[in-house]
Amino acid sequence: MIYVCPLNKVDETISLVGARRIVSLLAHGTDMQRPSVIAEGNHLLINMHDIAEAQDGMTLPGHEHVERIIAFGKGWDRGQPLVVNCYAGISRSTATAYLLAAALSPSRDEVELAQALRKLSPTATPNPRIIAIADELLGREGRMTAAIAAIGRGAEAFEGVPFGLRIDG
């Protein structure tokens, strides 16, 4: 199970679900202390901004970021849950949960997965750049991008509510 949460709910979510592995997607300089129950090698911290097009002074999500996420996910034994967080738990983290579920369950239908994401999180607005790169790297031929576009932008919110996404549906 992949759990998604905002930064301010990381410790609470990890404690609640018993996760021992975490992916954090945060802008450079955002304060993030690795939870004490997470071993250093089990925390992937990626510094990127929540943008879809290049902007001065900001880090655009890139292929190297998504490749690192996929590799980290494939190294997860699934014995305990994985937590994914970004600042608000709405965009970078929901895109990452979606791409990890697609990567770890390659036969899972992209539309079904996107609809499950929407049902679990009415605020989910997966970062379109992260989705497009994952779509390309996973050989999904545009289906991931189209499925996320079809669920549309999530409800406006300051931060998302933590939720769990099953990998195999």
Q: What is the pLDDT confidence band of residue 169, given thresholds at 50, 70 and 90?
A: low
For residue range 111-163, list pLDDT tens digits in order. 999 999 999 999 999 999 999 999 999 999 999 999 999 999 999 999 999 99
Domain with residue 142: its CATH number is: 3.90.190.10
Both tokens of 130, joined, read: 């992260």
Query: Amino acid identity of 161?
Result: V
Q: Is the pLDDT of residue 168 over 90?
A: no
15-27 confidence digits (pLDDT tens): 999 999 999 999 9
Answer for the pair 135, 144: CB distance below 8 angstroms, yes or no: yes
Phi, psi of 83 (to 5 degrees): -105, 135
For 34-89, the pLDDT digits (tens) are 999 999 999 999 999 999 999 999 999 999 999 999 999 999 999 999 999 999 99
Residue 12, domain extent:
2-165
What does the buried/exposed string (b/e) look like for 38-47 if buried means 16 or more CB atoms within 10 Å of the residue's CB?
Answer: beeebbbebe
What is the percent of the chain with per-residue pLDDT over 70, rounded to a whole number?
Answer: 99
Instruction: Give the sign of the dihedral formed by CA 131, CA 82, CA 151, CA 147.
Output: positive
Rounded to 5 degrees, φ, ψ at 68 are -65, -40
Residue 105: is its pLDDT beyond 80?
yes
Number of domains in the chain: 1
DSSP 3-state assignment of 28? coil
Give me the pLDDT at residue 25, please: 98
Has this prediction a pTM greater than 0.95? yes
The pLDDT of residue 73 is 97
